[in-house]
Structure 1
Amino acid sequence: MAKLTLGFGVLLIILSLIGYIGTGSTHPTALIPGGLGILFIFFGVMANSESLKKRMLWMHISVTLALLGFLSMIPALVDLVRLVRGVYFPYPAAVEEKSVMGLLCLLYVLVCVRSFINARRARVS
């Protein structure tokens, strides 16, 4: 799971760079997903430990942050549906980037929760 966290962090950094360059490098807020990506790379490095307790701690911290990231992007997902239906937004690239970030966070949470359940089942049996 630590490698997944590292990969997720890299994806967020790539997303932020695409958003920043795609907007003509004029909107520094497009780099916000990159900040989250750096945190996930840190969490992935910390979770790459021999200690089960440390690994569990850092993975639970990362999935909690990803859940908060998804929950905070729900309005952007609603705006994406509105954008597809033809509603005008002054910065459609921002709506798209936030929506991708929200979907990536949701995917990460789902994969981590599935892994946590499988790990618990493996410990019990």
Structure 2
Amino acid sequence: MARISLIFGSLLIALGVVAFLLAGATAKSITALIPAFIGLILLLLSAIARKSQAANKHAMHVAALLGLIGTLGGFGMGIPKLIKYLGGDESIVLRAPVVQITMGILCAMFLVMCVRSFIAARRARLAA
């Protein structure tokens, strides 16, 4: 899971940086970097998991929790904004809900992989 955390962390960092750079000069906000902050934490947790076998389980459980938070936050913020945009609200810039929903999708994929890995590890431990 440490390698998967590295991959998804890198994807989230790229998403956040692209979102920040695509925002107009007057619209640049630190909130556009939220996916990048989550990705950076995933990279740190991946490094901890790779460095210490004893900390691997704990680091990956924290990473899964971060994936859950990213999923809920991405979908929870992006879907209502997208609905408002599709309803004709001109104050919503389409880029924001697209980035938020993309973050939600990436985090959901990561979370599913974490849960599958945890189940496989438990089964392997019980079989041994």
TM-score by length of 2: 0.85
Calculate the aligned-residue CA RMSD, in Å.
1.9
1:42-100: CA deviation from partner (whole Å, max 9, x where unpaired): 0000011452x311010001101111121222323423652674533422211111111
Q: Match for 1:115 among 109, 114, 117? A: 117
CA change 1:114–1:80 in 2 (3 A) is farther
Moved more, 26-35 or 77-86: 77-86
Q: Which runs of 5+ in 2 are unaligned?
A: none
Q: Which runs of 5+ in 1 are unaligned?
A: none
Q: 1:37 maps to which residue?
A: 39
CA distance in 2, matches of 1:11, 1:96: 15
Q: 1:94 maps to which residue?
A: 96
Please report how far the alpha carbon of residue 38 of structure 1 lies from its aligned counterpart in structure 2 after TM superposition.
0.8
Q: 1:21 maps to which residue?
A: 21
Q: How many residue pairs are counted as aligned between the two chains?
A: 124
Counterpart amino acid of 2:62? I
CA distance in 2, matches of 1:87, 1:7: 36
TM-score by length of 1: 0.87
